[in-house]
Amino acid sequence: MEIRAAKKADVDEVLPLIKIVFDEMEMPIFEKIPDQDLYHVLSEAYATEDYRYSYRHTTVAVEDGHVVGIAVGYPEVEEATIDDAIAPFLPEIGLSKDLKFFTDKEARPGEWYLDTLAVAENKQGHGIGTALLKYLPEHLRQQGEQVISLSVDFENPQAEKLYKRMGFVEDGELMIGNHRYKHLIEKL
């Protein structure tokens, strides 16, 4: 397995993995948008430099030439504007460019926030998520980051167990959409 920075060309294999997380979040806005429309705007925004789910914020795990896992994250200082890049594409699917998918603050000052960790359903339980989590600390240390944070749903104890096994510790709670999450951190 290879772990590397995502490329624009990975879009068709990355977006279904992001969609797994959207489905788990059960956010009403995503339930109202047809999948093909959501994929359209996400693919446009993925190709930009600054979007939350852009290729620049994505690390991929690749097996046999296919993306099988992703880690998507960004420094907290980018959070306030991280979703602005999708706005110009929203009118293409009949939505206001002022619509915000995410309004809740997820990261704290000084943190690099792991927004999404997802593995293809047919590859779960094969160590791909663990490999991505092992890769990130050294990679982020080299970029000058000092803390990785993430949010784990109270209803996902299996993921919480993985994160804690990898060195994350609980550091509070927050609400994202309609779900309560534990805020976990790992000091680098």
Closest C-alpha among 78, 28, 45 to residue 179: 28
What the chain holds in terms of domains, given with CATH numbers, is: 2-187 (3.40.630.30)
DSSP SS3 for 40: helix
Q: Which pTM was predicted?
A: 0.92
Encode pLDDT of 81-117 as tens digits: 999 999 999 999 998 898 888 888 899 999 999 999 9
CA atoms of 25 and 12, how far apart (whole Å): 21
CA atoms of 7 and 16, how far apart (whole Å): 15
CA atoms of 74 and 51, how far apart (whole Å): 10
CA atoms of 119 and 158, how far apart (whole Å): 14
